[in-house]
Amino acid sequence: MSEIDRPVLRPRRLRTTPAMRDLVAETTLRPAQLVLPLFVREGATEPTPISSMPGVVQHTRETLRKAATEAAEAGLRGVMLFGIPEAKDAVGSGGTDPDGILNVAIADVVAEVGDALVVMSDLCLDEFTDHGHCGVLTADGRVDNDATLERYAEMARVQAAVGANLVGPSGMMDGQVAVIREALDAAGHLDTGILAYSAKYASAFYGPFREAVDSSLEGDRRTYQQDARNSRESVREVLLDIEQGADIVMVKPALPYLDVLRRVADAVGELGVPVAAYNISGEYAMVEAAAANGWIDREPAILETLTAIRRAGADVILTYWALEAAGLLRD
């Protein structure tokens, strides 16, 4: 037997013990970096499970308040609220009605948790329109960018008035951040920030979310959300949003777009704008389904997923696992 060449350089040394691995770990994952998305359903008297998102429910106003308190107690620093109205119409009136479900829920949560959480609200029409698109439509059925901007401006004013700390425009209309910033400032809401869904892709992984909000969408969002084949335009979208006044920019989805996330984080790192990533419904459902079948080990898979998103450049992660992950990180 010939003598083997013994390696001089041994990367395994830094992996020998848990203490050694912790000592040299590059990426941190803390509860304060996680934001919990929550759904609230108008008129609901019981929380309604969402079958494609095991463990996630459409809350009643009452259970939403409890969930927000729980989030704060778990060490999370933010919640993102989505409303499901009883009635939908062509222009999404429920989104701008101060008594509409999302707006009353924002006020509820703010009253409940005060400054303990950053209260964020989805600023989009799709939950409120009967056609399910993120904007209003032209006579021939196309999404009308500029008419939609007026609806977003109104929605921003209402959400800020009821106490949202960060509004989250997610409709991918051109110019939405500028219009919202202007509307907020004109109404005196100088401290209400904008978490812009800047690089948002048309994705098959939103499927479970559409069940979560009882979406009536037929067709797709490809005329406004980005094409999965593109990466460079994400940098353009993010820079446009920063120019228009975005306080935080977001990449969405997360897992199938970790390359985009890294690219965006590199591009805006020097500008000092925090980058968020949305670990979306389909990403959640994949892990939950595989774990339910006994095909993967659920808790390590959750932590690995969230760590990967942080490693790729996210400062903040929106995830349906936020509460549970906070518990796992404490143990």
Q: Number of residues interacting with ligand PBG: please give it, by CB under 6 A.
A: 9
Instruction: Specify whether 252 is catalytic.
Output: yes
Q: Binding to ligand PBG (CB under 6 A): which residues in 5-34?
A: none
Round to whole Å and give the CA distance between 225 and 285. Answer: 21
CA 163 → CA 75, 186, 245, distances in Å? 21, 16, 19
Instruction: Specify whether 88 is catalytic.
Output: no
Nearer to ligand PBG, 126 or 288 (CB): 126
Q: Binding to ligand PBG (CB under 6 A): which residues in 151-190?
A: 170
Nearer to ligand PBG, 82 or 165 (CB): 82
| Residue among 308, 160, 276 at smallest CA distance from 325 | 308
Q: Does 317 bind ligand PBG (CB under 6 A)?
A: no
Contact characters 95-134, ligand PBG, x per CB under 6 A: ---------------------------x-x-x--------
Contact characters 190-219, ligand PBG, x per CB under 6 A: ----------------x--x----------
Q: Does 237 bind ligand PBG (CB under 6 A)?
A: no
Least distance (Å) between residue 21 CB and ligand PBG: 32
Nearer to ligand PBG, 102 or 118 (CB): 102
Among the listed residues 41, 151, 200, 221, the single catalytic one is 200
Q: Does 281 bind ligand PBG (CB under 6 A)?
A: yes
Residues annotated as catalytic (active site), given as ranges: 200, 252
Interface residue list for ligand PBG (CB under 6 A): 122, 124, 126, 170, 206, 209, 221, 280-281
